[in-house]
A and B are shown apart, each in its own frame.
Chain A
Amino acid sequence: QVQLQESGPGLVKPSETLSLICTVSGGSISSNFWSWFRQPPGKGLEWIGNIYNSGTTNYNPSTKTRVTISMDTSKNQFSLKLSSVTAADTAVYYCAAATNWLAFDYWGQGTLVTVSS
């Protein structure tokens, strides 16, 4: 059973970089698709991007210029960096895994990141 856990600061200042790590247990990060999503308070889900094949990435054009997703296979972790954040980036951030093409069957519990000075 794959389990995912997000970690990182819950508060980030405007214009700074949001950094989150997703630690994976119960499965190897070297296979399947690994993604980041976010959900602003009271709103719907947004896909941010994903990584697979030990390094290939796809990003949502809405945040593509500010996003970097990377993985550390030695630690079985993948990470999200979102630069130049504003209040609009305040959201619950989820990491997730897809073992059925790009339908995501494993999710972390989510972590709330607030952008505020």
Chain B
Amino acid sequence: EIVMTQSPATLSVSPGERATLSCRASQSISSNLAWYQQKPGQAPRLLIYAASTRATGNPVRFSGSGSGTEFTLTISSLQSEDLAVYYCQQYSSWPLTFGGGTKVEIK
């Protein structure tokens, strides 16, 4: 099983500032990585797939990068509505696995 590790667990960022979230895979997953945003009381929402492709309907301030074992989700200019937990998920091999999440707080 591929273990996904996210850091930091909590990130506090002021509105308008950049937020950088990290995700590490225990072995290479090429670019088979997705990022999700989950707001309180809601289902997850797909932000990024194939490590860097923005899913339909998502703001351009969300971007993804990386390949192999190291990945990054960047929110270029944090908005108040970005308060959420962000999860990475690998789909390189079974079972599909998620990271533990990064909670983004508004400073």
Residues on A lying within 8 angstroms of B by beta carbon are 35, 44-47, 50, 58-62, 94, 96, 100-105, 107-110
Contacts and interface: CB of A to CB of B under 8 A. Distances in A.
Contact of B87 (A35, A44, A94, A96): A44
A45 B43 contact: no
Closest 3 CB pairs of A and B: A103-B49, A102-B91, A103-B34
B97 A107 contact: no
Interface of B: 1, 32, 34, 36, 38, 42-46, 49-50, 53, 55-56, 87, 89, 91, 94-101
18 contacts: A44-B99, A45-B36, A45-B87, A45-B101, A50-B96, A58-B95, A60-B95, A94-B43, A94-B44, A100-B49, A100-B53, A100-B55, A101-B50, A102-B96, A103-B50, A104-B46, A107-B43, A107-B45
A44 B44 contact: no
Contacts, number: 66
